């Protein structure tokens, strides 16, 4: 062997809403903390400011996380201050593990960041929706899935028939959403359910 193994790699956890992506991210991160590894967890912020927050699963488990507005926010806060990923920055200053939840909401710049971290020896664990409410590939996810060393595709339980659910049903006022409905609908009563292929409905 010519040089020691750095361990850096990219793990992606995907599936529809309620499939346990956050639970699985929390499980992996908690084990890394038990192993005394330096761990940082990020998630997208709903508002403009970064803040201390938590990744929470629907079943109620949580782990501390920093909510950030965009990929620049992740770079700025990775393991301390200052611009990250300059040539002078030693990999030793990076955390051992970086976890990101709801990764589908970040822009395409998440891909080079994840790859750079993995190249620098970081174990990168990303969790997010593989499909949007139309069951179309979600933003940066196809790219991340293709580049990951490991992919875990989880299923939820279809609320209509109990089958494994691979899709997120968007409901507006209790009715299936339309294909062209905007992703953010102001003032609408919106909800989501896990559905299988048969029971997932998108109105034309
Ligand atoms: P995700 O991050 O994929 O949205 P979470 O980890 O937040 O999922 O939540 C998963 C948990 O949601 C499950 O362990 C279960 O307790 C609960 N849950 C609620 N509805 C469903 C459903 N239809 N199918 C599976 N789990 C569900």
Mean pLDDT across the chain: 90
CA–centroid distance, 92 to ligand 1, in Å, is 36
- Kindly tell me if the per-residue pLDDT of 23 is higher than 60: yes
For the chain, percent of residues with pLDDT exceeding 70: 89
Q: The CATH number of the domain where 73 resides is what? A: 3.40.50.300
Q: Is 102 a catalytic residue?
A: yes
84 CA → ligand 1 middle, Å: 34
Q: Which two structure tokens, joined as six digits, stand for 175?
A: 């009715």
Q: Is residue 49 part of a domain?
A: yes
- Counting ligand 1 atoms within 8 A of each CB, the residue from 54, 56, 156 with the most, and so the one to mutate, is 156
Give dist(CA 63, CA 23) in Å, integer: 10
196 lines ligand 1 (CB under 6 A): no
Q: What percent of the chain has pLDDT over 90?
A: 74
Output 177 or 79, whichever has higher pLDDT.
Answer: 177
DSSP assignments along 48-79, one per residue: SS-EEEEEE-TTS-EEEEEEESSHHHHHHHTT
CA of 54 to the centre of ligand 1 (A): 17
Give me the domain span that covers residue 62: 9-154
> Is 24 in the same domain as 55?
yes
* Stronger pLDDT, 85 or 37, i.e. the higher one: 37
Q: Does ligand 1 come within 6 angstroms of the Cβ of 168?
A: no
Q: How many separate domains does the chain show? A: 2
Check residue 48 and give its pLDDT.
Answer: 64
pLDDT at position 47: 66
ipTM over 0.90 threshold: yes
Work out the number of other CB atoms within 10 angstroms of the CB of residue 145: 17
Q: How confident is the model at residue 82 (pLDDT cuts 50, 70, 90)?
A: very low
Would 2 be classed as within a structural domain? no
Q: Is the pLDDT of residue 172 over 70?
A: yes
In a domain, 1, yes or no: no
Q: Do 63 and 110 sit in the same domain of this protein?
A: yes
Q: What is the pLDDT of residue 5?
A: 81
Kindly state if the Cβ of 79 falls inside 6 Å of ligand 1. no
């Amino acid at each position: 062997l010519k040089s020691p193994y750095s361990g850096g790699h990219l793990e992606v956890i995907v599936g529809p809403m309620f499939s346990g992506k956050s639970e699985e991210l929390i499980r992996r991160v908690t084990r890394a903390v038990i192993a005394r590894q330096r761990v940082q967890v990020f998630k997208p912020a709903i508002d403009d400011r970064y803040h201390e927050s938590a990744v929470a699963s629907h079943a109620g488990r949580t782990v501390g996380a920093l909510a950030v507005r965009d990929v620049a926010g992740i770079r700025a806060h990775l393991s301390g201050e200052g611009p990250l990923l300059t040539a002078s920055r030693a990999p030793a200053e990076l955390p051992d593990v970086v976890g990101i939840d709801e990764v589908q909401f970040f822009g395409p710049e998440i891909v080079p960041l994840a790859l750079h971290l993995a190249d620098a020896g970081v174990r990168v664990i990303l969790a997010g929706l593989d499909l949007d409410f139309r069951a179309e590939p979600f933003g940066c996810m196809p790219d991340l899935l293709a580049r990951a060393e490991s992919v875990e595709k989880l299923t939820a339980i279809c609320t209509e028939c109990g089958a494994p659910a691979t899709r997120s049903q968007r409901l507006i006022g209790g009715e299936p959403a339309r294909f062209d409905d905007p992703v953010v609908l102001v003032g609408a009563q919106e909800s989501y359910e896990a559905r299988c292929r048969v029971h997932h409905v998108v109105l034309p």
